[in-house]
Amino acid sequence: MARTRAQRRRRTLLIVLALAATLLVLLFARDVSRSAHGSATSRRSEDRSFGAVANSLIESENNFDGRLVLLLSHGGTLSRSVFAARLGQLNQELPSWATTADLLRRPVLVHNVNETLDQLTQERVAAYQTLLRYVAHALTLPWSAGPSQIVADPAASLVTTAQSWNTERLSLAQEPGRVHLLATSSSSAAYFAQHGVAALVNSPSLTLNRGIGIAALQVYPSPLPAGAGVLLLPPVTSVQFGVSVLNASYADQPVTLTLRVTPVNKRGANFTQTLRTTLGPQQAYGFVPGVLRTAASERARVVITISGAPAASGMVISETYQLEMSPSGHS
């Protein structure tokens, strides 16, 4: 009788243990299911968020590519200033790609697709910067922005990175969210590889025609009324010249100004000064030579010359004046 009760107690205990184990298994399975469901939901959200920003970035790249191929193929119809402005606008867009791609690296997604996008974007930015710099230099356009790194063959790099991305972009198609990432175009790279910049360099509207000229002369104190080419001044002891020079071309232009004053009587001394600067496209600059010491009744020959480029249309690069200082009135 006692053994039967012991057996019953053992069997009851086993049943309780079995029920408890079953309950634990069910609870664990439920938690695992909830965890997996939660993980899938999180991944779906992360993948879709990444996809939205990544596709916006790629759309920007493809739009850039279309505008660049149009500029390379039809830029010869534009003036130098308009072409340079459009080339500069394209170059200004590139740093934002690198920033956006870098921000997309976190959180890390499956297959490291965001890391891949960041790396390929950085390579494409450097390649485009190198290509634009090459075009600007080929046309002797002002270009101060340098690429983060020089790419030996930018066209080949752009084609290769586009091919790589167009394979990697399928990484999320079968993942939660079923994200479809856009392909990257490289039509401008293909055009550049085939045609280069020959059409642009040979375009008459983009040809560099250098020209400078003396735009204005200012003298202090102001000259008194006199004949053409004569600077008649009161009997002061010093004279200040100011010469405005214009760069009429669309290119950076080094300019040298030389002022020579040669006495024609014995009342003064020789004076020569040379000044240099570099003018930006279609910019003017005011040279201010040192003070010229003068004496009453002095007469001298003043020659102002600028060099660095031929005279622009309708302008001169050399002017000669006769300087005459009035008597002091005390002699």
* Same domain (yes/no): 200, 134: yes
Residue matched to tokens 């890391």: 115
Neighbours of 115 (CB within 10 A): 16
| In a domain? residue 96 | yes
How, if at all, do strands 238-247 and 284-287 pair? Answer: antiparallel
Minimal CA–CA distance to 263: which of 199, 173, 195, 324?
A: 324
Query: Which of 206, 236, 260 is the C-terminal boundary of a domain?
Result: 206
Residue matched to tokens 């059409």: 199
* Same domain (yes/no): 283, 258: yes
| In a domain? residue 152 | yes
Residue matched to tokens 């959180």: 107
| In a domain? residue 330 | no
d(CA 107, CA 22): 38
Query: Which of 206, 222, 240 is the C-terminal boundary of a domain?
Result: 206
Number of domains forming the structure of the chain? 2
DSSP state of 311: B
**Are 229 and 291 contacting, i.e. CB atoms less than 8 angstroms apart?**
no
pLDDT tens, per residue, the chain with 331 residues:
455 666 666 667 666 655 655 554 444 444 434 444 346 676 677 777 877 888 899 999 999 999 999 999 999 999 999 999 999 999 999 999 999 988 887 666 666 778 888 999 999 999 999 999 999 999 999 998 666 789 999 999 999 999 998 887 777 656 666 678 889 999 999 999 999 999 999 999 999 999 999 999 999 999 999 999 999 999 999 999 999 999 999 999 999 999 999 999 988 899 999 999 999 999 999 999 999 999 999 999 999 999 999 999 999 999 999 999 999 865 5
* Same domain (yes/no): 217, 151: no
* Same domain (yes/no): 201, 223: no
* Same domain (yes/no): 173, 314: no
At residue 302, the pLDDT reads 98
> What phi and psi, each to the nearest 5 degrees, are found at residue 169?
-65, -15
At residue 174, the pLDDT reads 62
Query: Which of 161, 187, 206 is the C-terminal boundary of a domain?
Result: 206
* Same domain (yes/no): 195, 52: yes
d(CA 145, CA 153): 19
| In a domain? residue 109 | yes
Three-class SS state of 274: strand
272: domain CATH number? 2.60.40.10
At residue 109, the pLDDT reads 67
At residue 25, the pLDDT reads 45
* Same domain (yes/no): 200, 222: no
Residue matched to tokens 């009429």: 248
* Same domain (yes/no): 149, 264: no
| In a domain? residue 57 | yes
DSSP state of 269: -
* Same domain (yes/no): 279, 306: yes
274: containing domain: 212-325
Neighbours of 152 (CB within 10 A): 8
Query: Where are the extended beta strands (E) located within 227-312?
Result: 230-233, 238-247, 253-263, 271-279, 284-287, 292-293, 299-307
Residue matched to tokens 């004046």: 321
* Same domain (yes/no): 189, 268: no
* Same domain (yes/no): 183, 286: no
Output the DSSP codes for 27-64: HHHHHHHHHHHHHHHHHHHHHHHHHHHHHHHHHHHHHH
At residue 13, the pLDDT reads 61
Output the DSSP codes for 197-247: THHHHT-GGG-----EEEEEEEEESPPBS--TTEEEE-S-SEEEEEEEEEE
d(CA 142, CA 67): 21
| In a domain? residue 331 | no
At residue 144, the pLDDT reads 80
At residue 16, the pLDDT reads 62
Task: Confirm whether pTM is higher than 0.85.
Answer: no
d(CA 276, CA 287): 9
| In a domain? residue 29 | yes
* Same domain (yes/no): 179, 224: no
| In a domain? residue 190 | yes
